[in-house]
A and B are shown apart, each in its own frame.
Chain A
Amino acid sequence: MKILSGKIMNYKTLKIDNLDLFFNEIKKSGKNLLVTKKKGTTTYFSSFININDVDFNYIQTTISPKSVLFPKVEELISFKKDDGIYVMTEPNIEKETIVFGLRPCDAVGLEYLSNFFLNENSDFAVKLRKENTTLITLACKNFDENCFCTSVGLSPASTQGTDICLTDIGNGLFHVEIITDKGEKLIAEHSALFSNAEKINKENYVAQVPLKFDCDNFTKNIKDYYNSEKWVVNSLSCLGCGACAFVCPTCTCFDIEDETNLVCGTRLRCWDSCAFGIFTLHASEHNPKPMQSDRWRHRVLHKFYYSKTNMDTISCVGCGRCIRVCPAGMNILEQILDLQEA
């Protein structure tokens, strides 16, 4: 992953005790504020209600925050038959949203996702949502065995793709890095809560995630792996559900479905997954990717090869969600390491 050496505009500190005030001020200003909340053993993004619900110590949410740009269901157009002709209307996408507490890998994931939708045949909905969304990442102090951000060129200290980055530096303080104009604007609206600060060595305060594999080597050799038996061996447990694609911050595949009551209706866009058997099925019943191993191979090649040739970047951020959520123990790291084994 190309790391933009984005100039950091400003440094601040924020007292953790002031977060409640910050959140309430944002809420009062009418913006939609999403924070990370705990529910049983999982953490997920939800509207801020109470500071005591907010989870700062989670490793990773089960599902990515990509719904802020690309929701699981959305309306593309709606239509109504009026006097023999169809009248079409478009959805209203306006609400300003702040997402607090996502991890640095997710900010990069959302950046890839919006670049994918906005380049060539730019998507109007993603564009509007991106313009109205401000991201505040929380640098990781912890990781688990499924995290591999460092192997794909990222790190728990990365500021790529985010507007503001917070790092817990102890003594009840967050160190704040303001990366973009949007971030600067938000901080300025609540300037009383922030104090000026100097640059720090973030590495002292974030998790150190060990390298799992050599990504440059993998992407260089990946086109030679197409016919390997190892795709079949490693996908025997895959049952073809959509969990990995749906939790993934960079998966962008979708379906378009019409729904109507014969008087009016909508054309909806909803998440889809290349792992489903019918994803590539023709009406003639011909299926170019008939076996689950074909579909599994496509998923991995898309992340590490196809997006590299099409958009000059791999599209896996090493968040590890696909591994954690898989009902059947599928593991993309196991596949990569198996292929690299001579």
Chain B
Amino acid sequence: MQELNNKIAELLTNNLVSIFISYKRGLNGKIKPAFFTKPDEVDENYFGDEAQQNLAVYVHKPEVKKYSKVGILANIFALKALLQLYAENQIKDNYLTIVTVNQDNKVIVFADFNEIESYIAQHQIEKNTDEHKEIDKLLSLPREERWEFWVEQLSSCIKCYACRAICPMCYCSKCTVELNQPQWISVPAHSLGNFEWHIMRMMHLAGRCINCQECSRVCPMDIPLHLLTTKINSDMEEEFGQIAGTKTTLDFALNTFKVDDYENFIR
């Protein structure tokens, strides 16, 4: 992808960025994140179908932040994540130069987040009907059977927190599980502790998750976390008309209070 490589090299040469986050092929042939700091490194750059990881997660990393001007190659999910992060005030102005390659292989360097908002509006992600069929099948089960399904799935969790580490929206400097006064969530990976962790995480993500499904991809135990993320996303859309990662301004039902709320407990 010569046009992309040229653009990245140009950004580095002209000092518009001091580090550029993209992809490259690793020693074992798999595609992995690349962190280019010099133009001659860009020959290793990869772009294509094998580039899966959502790179937006790296914009929080202190080792990356210290470069102050960071460039990033963002696929559609990374764009949504970055837009949501921007809406949540997690991205300083002039920190990022965001680049994407559209379906016609054209390289786009976004001038600002308003452009990203328009781009995302024009590139809707199709709903995965297989996933929704699986969710509907689970919802059709009696409550006890659905419970048993998740007990079995979550009992294999080893609390490695790969799901948390890979998620661009999990950026808390001290995660709830790392607090011990009180110990909100059990640390050991027993069944109850695993339930507490996953339920809490989904609740903290509802309305913010952009459904990139990286958490599910990276889980060593193959827990179908994507079923949970897809469900919370469709619930937020149905109940509140909200889709995360689509606006530059925060529109978050779960922390918004309206005086004319039809529930009276809050009045």
The reply to whether chain A is a binding partner of chain B is yes
If A242-B161, A243-B162 touch, whether A329 touches B30 (CB-CB below 8 Å) is: yes
CB proximity to B under 8 Å, residues A235-276? 236-237, 239-243, 246-247, 255, 257, 259, 268, 270-271, 273, 276
* B188 surroundings in chain A (CB, below 8 A): 72-73, 255, 257, 259, 268, 270
Is there contact, CB below 8 Å, between B63 and A293?
A: yes
Restricting to A304-333, which residues have a CB under 8 Å from any CB of B? 323, 325, 327-331, 333
Interface size class of B (residues with CB under 8 A): 35 or more
In the docked arrangement, what's the CA distance between A203 and B162, Å?
Answer: 38
Contacts of A293 in B (CB 8 A): 63
Taking a contact as CB atoms under 8 Å apart, the answer to whether A329 and B189 are in contact is no
What distance in Å separates the Cβ of B167 from its nearest Cβ neighbour in chain A? 9
Contact with A along B184-201 (1 / 0, CB 8 A): 001111100100000000
A-binding segment of B21-29, B88-96, B232-240: B21-29
* Assembly CA distance A246 to B214 (angstroms): 19
Contact A42 B32 (CB under 8 A): no
Query: If A62-B220, A246-B220, A328-B166 touch, does A239 touch B178 (CB 8 Å cutoff)?
Result: no
Q: Which B residues touch A87, using CB under 8 A?
A: none
Task: Report A-chain residues with C-beta under 8 Å of the C-beta of B217.
Answer: 327
CA A323 to CA B218, docked complex, whole Å = 12
Assembled-state Cα–Cα distance A259/B193 (Å): 11
- C-alpha spacing A40/B221, complex, angstroms: 11
Q: A63 and B220 in contact (CB under 8 A), knowing A327-B165, A329-B32?
A: yes
Asked whether A331 lies within 8 Å of B28 as measured between CB atoms, the reply is yes
Given contacts A73-B188, A241-B162, A246-B160, contact A329 B33 (CB under 8 A): yes
Q: Is B243 an interface residue (CB 8 A)?
A: no
Q: A292 near B: Cβ within 8 Å?
A: yes
Q: Is the CB of B214 within 8 A of A327?
A: yes
Q: B160 to A328, Cβ gap below 8 A?
A: no
- B158 engages A63 (CB within 8 Å): yes
B165 pairs with A271, CB closer than 8 A: no
Which of these, A39, A40, A255, A323, contacts B187 with CB under 8 Å? A255
Q: B residues within 8 A CB of A239? A: 57, 61, 165-166
Residues from 160 to 187 in B contacting A, C-beta threshold 8 Å = 160-162, 164-166, 178, 183, 186-187
* In the assembled complex, A8 has its CB within 8 A of some CB on chain B: no
**Residue B222 CB within 8 A of the other chain:** yes
A255 contact set on B, CB distance < 8 A: 187-188
Which residues of A have CB within 8 Å of B220?
62-63, 243, 246-247, 325
- B residues in contact (CB < 8 Å) with A: 26-33, 35, 53, 57-58, 61-64, 158-162, 164-166, 178, 183, 186-190, 193, 214, 217-218, 220-222
Interface residues of A (CB under 8 A from B): 39-40, 42, 62-63, 72-73, 144-146, 232-233, 236-237, 239-243, 246-247, 255, 257, 259, 268, 270-271, 273, 276, 278, 291-293, 323, 325, 327-331, 333-334, 337
